[in-house]
Structure 1
Amino acid sequence: MQRNRNKLLDKVKKEVMELRSQSLHNAVIINLLREQPSQQLKRSWDIEIKVGKRPIFQLPAKVNIMQVFDRMKGKLLLLGNSGCGKTTTLLELARKLIIRAEKNPNTPIPVLLDLATWQNHHQKISNWLVNQINIKYNIPHQVTINWLENRLLLPLIDSFDQVPTELSEYCLEGINKLSVDFQPKHLVICSSFTAYKNCYNKFRVNAAVLLKPLKTNQIQDYLLVARSRELWSYIQDEPELLNLAKTPLMLSMMTLAYEEILMAAWMRITSKQEKEKYLLNAYIRSQLGVENNYRFYSKRKEPLPEQTRRWLSWLAKRMAAENLQEFRIEKLQPSWLNYHGELQAYQLTTNLISLISVLFWGFAFGFILTLIWQWQLGLIGGAISGLIGGILSLPGIKKLVLRIILFSHGHIPWNYRRFLNYSASKLLLQKVGNRYQFIHYLLYKHFLEM
């Protein structure tokens, strides 16, 4: 049991470190300030707390999320608009909880879970949790069940707002049922304020933590510290751009993408959605043009920007179709092929190669066995060997054919892992172990709509 506990802690710790190091806030500090960020990245947004029916109160700047967690006995709901810092706050809490769990073997183990992977209202949240811990961290189901029953898990549940609207009540009730059935000592849930407000029922937690949009003076301080005085001079008198900058994610993107933004053109855009779209496109251009220390491709051999956009757009569409929040190359499936010739070509090619494989192994072993034994035994042995050889080589053949077809139709480059690592180095994707995800849900939706 202790070995599994250490294994899970190590994996969660690595996941948290990798996700925090690949955040946009972290990139601003390193790329613009030329500094290494401290272990605790200072939040620039205000936090308000709501406990029961008591009045809302603002959290002092010196009080961190871990102190709130302890005061509220470890049962919190994190609320805020998309891009407001919920996941950043959750990761900071996870980092401190891991340190605590490493020091005390009786402390529950924090685990990061994404509710966007829950899409079946017939599935119990407890079963979903067990399956996700098995998929993400390779922990056996029974071990996780034992931990749940003994209150040794600390679920940190993100993305309630990404559950389909028609399923949100089922999901909320399922999480509350988890709280009643297993009575975890601690539980933290993240959601957008809008998604939670529209729910009839409420989570069984001790307090709601609301992450507020940035104030004008906070935006100014952030940009001046990030050496973006010129950007501040442009947006300070533009209410719509200033309003966009109130979201920490958008402010970080503005800071990183400033050189790719034509301010006069951006100011002329009237729609908020089009302004966001312009910024996301500028951010992508900026990241693809930035030099970094990673050398996944030799000089002038990097994918063209339009290739990168096309490949990532295709990946986003396939992940949406398969309801995936994370992608692994090993999980590429024939279902990712379209029905306009690709799937038929795959089936025909795999069947043909399988037949050739069977004949090859059958002939090879049959010939050898005929030389050793009588020809009748050689034929029988060759037939058996051909079938066995064909079956054993079939999975490898299917994967190879799938990659060839996806490559030949321009959906992926030949060396797909190198491209995904390259995209992660450009802060378009995030990489955790052998899993990849888009750096933020807003960017994922942007590629999805390309």
Structure 2
Amino acid sequence: MIFERIRAFVSSSMEELEPERLAVKQALDELKIDAWLFERDAGARPESPALTFSKELDSADIYVGLFANKYGAYTVEEFELATTLGKDRLVYERRTALDGRDPRLEAFLARAGHVENGVTVRRFENASQLGAMVKDDLAAWQARRIRDQRTEMAQRRATPGRDVEQSQLEILRRKVEQFWVDGVLKHSLYDEVLIDLGIEGNTEAIDHPWATVLELPDHSTRELLRSRKIADIFEEAGRSLLVLGEPGAGKTTCLLDLARSLLASEHEGITPVVLNLSSFGSRSGPLFDWLTEEIRGRYQIPKQLCRRWLTEGRLLLLLDGLDEVNESRRADCVRAINAYVESHGAPGLVVCSRVAEYVALPDRIKAWGAIRLRPLEAAQIQSYLMQIGPRFAGLASALDNDESLRSLATSPLLLNVMALAYADASPEAPSASADTTPEKRRHALFDRYIQTMFARKGVREGLGTRPQTIAFLAWLARAMRGQGVTEYLVEQMQPSWLTKRWALAAYVVTGRTALALALTGAWGLYFSEGSIRFAAWAALSQALAVSLFELVMAGTGLSRTLGWLRPIGIWIASGLVVGVVVHVGLQTISPSPSDVSFSLDQVLLSALGSILIIAPLSIVLALKARLPLTKEIETFESVGWSRRSALKRSWGGVVVALGLMLLVENALSGLAAASGWRGYATVVAVGWLAGFGLGGVQPRALKTFSPNQGIRRTMLRAALVFAGCVGVVLALTFGSDFAKPGMWVGLAYIPGALGCAVFGGADIVLHYVLRLMLVISERTPRRLIGSLRQGVRLVFLRQVGGGFIFVHRLLLEHFAGLSTPAPRQPG
């Protein structure tokens, strides 16, 4: 069953109208509507009859009431409860033998059928007449319900927005077209067959080699012609469609074909977005939040714009891979989709899934139509092979004589793989495998496909040998499957990709040490007036203390329960360690042994100094405490600049600058000379310029997106923040009576480095430390992007914007199952 069946609550006097109740049940069965009758469906229950019928009525979609002569208190209560719950109500009255009718029932029917605020009561004479009436009325109600839902959806559709937002939506449209239509659909395995044969592809002129079956919510089913376009089916189904099929049946191709049609038609200003549901299982929360994060990550659209477009109904959701969601979360995913559509609406929705996984779910997608992609028939397979040329005569002959091979060829994906693997092959080659089970034959087919691609295209110098490339792709497939993703983006790798415990520990220690040297070490160098030994002690002691604390919390699971206590604990723990080092270090660099003191005043001074020294790194780690250790790396969105916002927020910069100036004057008396009117005028000017520059920053969509672009843009952002912070501090301290001008630079470096770390610098450091750990522990290639592009050239991967996907889930599963060693990759 594809759809959730409609439920009707049938209410009447059981003894008086038993034949009529059975007639209604039969009529509803013919409409494939579940009819709930107390005597048949209630069974033995621990609750009272009143509570039983109230629960069932609450879960029903429509109330059907039958009345004759007897007055039943429960029957009237059921009608009143249906009214209170806002259920649609259909009331039927038998108008025969009225002499014995209870006056209370007569009064109730008069009230229920009141001309202004009642329902329209339909009258019947016998059970057969009633059954026909109910069947006609429920069919009309069901059709009206679908029309009303479509009307409500149409009213939620977005109205044209401002020119700025339209330009941002146009960027998103171009990305969807570039990533999925140009990058995947136009480079499908079918097109690879044509390219390999030197044939110019024309996908518009070729019928899809599969048949479809359309099923509607009324459970009517009919076969569709192969010439029917998916866009027409989508419209017929009310722009709410479920696409089902076996593995390799063409579900994703069908989805992307629809995306191409929608992009070409500019559907009322609505933009289609293609997303894979596989990562839904890795996050908790409503679908709205998941959609926001996915669109932001996959298409590099700022979160603010994502949320606004979803709320305003500007995005048409094309969701692939429901069957790829973790099994324990798949039912939650269905419920989240239904809840999202009910609460937010959607100008259109398509969900793709394998048949078996969908049928096994307890809940159903509330779509208005579904298509089921059928396997290829023998005539279709032969027609396909004849169409693409005589080089496949050997394959066609093998398919005629090998039933096991022919069963694989009923999948369009595997048929295309056969065409690429066995072009110009003899009839014996496809049947050479001694394996007879479909799964083993499929593995043998993919092995042949991999060998063929290497033989035809080879490997490029400096990117590894054939075994090294296969080992890398096998690692990538296992890692993607373990992370629950179908698209690999280099910048979205997290420490959770490290499978060995020692590698995760090395990542934590190395990353914290690098950050400590940049923040704690530099501040300690300034604090101790140039003692490199003191600065190194301070940095390394904090790095080791923080690393130990982080690893203990991650290993015991405390990081999830402590929440914001985690950064406080880090600050305290590392402060105690660094405090000891600071005190010893200060005594070590003392110019005279007589100055060495362990008095309480000196210890308190050292403690205060340690808190100041460890503050920059502690602040950075505190801001990251909202994320688990294994998912702590973030990249930043693209931004633009608005003069209107800059003018509104510029005076905020003045307030902040004056506040900082007062703090600096109180902390460092050497700046007192800067507090004259000229100094304050400088501060106001610098603050206004900083507020004007930063206040105009607004989220924008990236016009282009290439591999690792998120890291490059984060690096640029961090560099700009560093330069801005250093410039502001130098401007604030310029003209002060510091004895050494070089101390200005030291004082300016700390806020610059802290701002740089907070706004992406720390993530850059951690990203490349993670890459280093993956090279060491998993032996991934150092030239990662080049190796991925080689996978694209070998037709194992597809590049989707800045990400990479395997050409099909079945190929990913094949690579993930390969037990290959991981030889060291060349640089």
* TM-score interval (norm. to shorter): 0.7 to 0.9
Tell me if the contact between 2:495 and 2:504 (Cα under 8 Å) persists in the aligned partners: yes
Tell me if the contact between 1:362 and 1:384 (Cα under 8 Å) persists in the aligned partners: no
1:209 aligns with 2:371: yes
Separation (CA, whole Å) in 2 of partners of 1:96 and 1:153: 15
Separation (CA, whole Å) in 2 of partners of 1:402 and 1:122: 25
Q: Deviations over 1:244-272 (max 9, x none)?
A: 10001111111111168943532x20222
Secondary structure in structure 1 of the residue aligned to 2:238 = coil
| Structure 2: gaps (5+ residues) | 1-164, 531-736, 819-827
Q: CA RMSD in A?
A: 3.1
CA change 1:74–1:381 in 2 (3 A) is: closer
Aligned to 1:34: 199
Tell me if the contact between 1:342 and 1:405 (Cα under 8 Å) persists in the aligned partners: yes
1:404 aligns with 2:768: no
Point out the structure with max Rg over C-alpha: 2
Separation (CA, whole Å) in 2 of partners of 1:144 and 1:379: 45
Query: AA paired with 2:395?
Result: L
1:444 aligns with 2:611: no
Aligned-residue offset at 1:30: 1.4
Aligned to 1:432: 800
Secondary structure in structure 2 of the residue aligned to 1:118 = helix
1:265 aligns with 2:432: yes
Aligned to 2:417: 253
Separation (CA, whole Å) in 2 of partners of 1:167 and 1:337: 24
Query: AA paired with 1:411?
Result: R
| TM-score calculated relative to the size of structure 1 | 0.87
Separation (CA, whole Å) in 2 of partners of 1:41 and 1:154: 27
Secondary structure in structure 2 of the residue aligned to 1:78 = strand
**322, 329, 341: which one aligns with 2:490:** 329
Matches within 5 A, 1:272-351: 272-291=438-457, 297-298=460-461, 301-339=462-500, 341-350=502-511
CA change 1:237–1:129 in 2 (3 A) is: same
Counting matched residue pairs gives 437
Tell me if the contact between 2:214 and 2:371 (Cα under 8 Å) persists in the aligned partners: yes
Aligned-residue offset at 1:360: 8.2
1:43 aligns with 2:208: yes
CA change 1:59–1:360 in 2 (3 A) is: same
Aligned to 2:399: 235
**164, 168, 175: which one aligns with 1:11:** 175
Separation (CA, whole Å) in 2 of partners of 1:403 and 1:170: 34
Query: AA paired with 2:211?
Result: D
Query: AA paired with 2:346?
Result: P
Matches within 5 A, 1:65-144: 65-101=230-266, 106-119=268-281, 122-144=284-306
Secondary structure in structure 2 of the residue aligned to 1:119 = helix
Aligned-residue offset at 1:123: 1.6
Secondary structure in structure 2 of the residue aligned to 1:73 = coil
Q: Which runs of 4+ in 1 moved over 6 A?
A: 360-367
CA change 1:428–1:361 in 2 (3 A) is: farther
CA change 1:373–1:243 in 2 (3 A) is: same
CA change 1:34–1:316 in 2 (3 A) is: same
Separation (CA, whole Å) in 2 of partners of 1:353 and 1:107: 48
CA change 1:138–1:189 in 2 (3 A) is: same
Query: AA paired with 1:241?
Result: L
Aligned to 2:336: 174
Separation (CA, whole Å) in 2 of partners of 1:125 and 1:357: 40
Separation (CA, whole Å) in 2 of partners of 1:170 and 1:307: 39
| Structure 1: gaps (5+ residues) | none
Deviates more, 1:398-407 or 1:328-337: 398-407
Tell me if the contact between 1:159 and 1:190 (Cα under 8 Å) persists in the aligned partners: yes
Separation (CA, whole Å) in 2 of partners of 1:176 and 1:410: 41
**306, 310, 315: which one aligns with 1:153:** 315
Q: Deviations over 1:213-239 (max 9, x none)?
A: 000011111122223111110121211
Aligned to 1:64: 229
Q: Which has the higher contact order (CA 8 A, sep 6+)?
A: 1
Deviates more, 1:205-214 or 1:331-340: 331-340
Separation (CA, whole Å) in 2 of partners of 1:54 and 1:386: 68
CA change 1:122–1:394 in 2 (3 A) is: closer
Aligned-residue offset at 1:449: 1.7
Tell me if the contact between 1:361 and 1:386 (Cα under 8 Å) persists in the aligned partners: yes
Secondary structure in structure 2 of the residue aligned to 1:146 = helix
Aligned-residue offset at 1:409: 4.5
Aligned-residue offset at 1:116: 0.8
Deviates more, 1:346-355 or 1:322-331: 346-355
Deviates more, 1:191-200 or 1:206-215: 191-200
Aligned-residue offset at 1:111: 0.9
CA change 1:17–1:42 in 2 (3 A) is: farther
| TM-score calculated relative to the size of structure 2 | 0.49
**Identity level (%):** 28
CA change 1:123–1:348 in 2 (3 A) is: closer
Aligned-residue offset at 1:80: 0.5
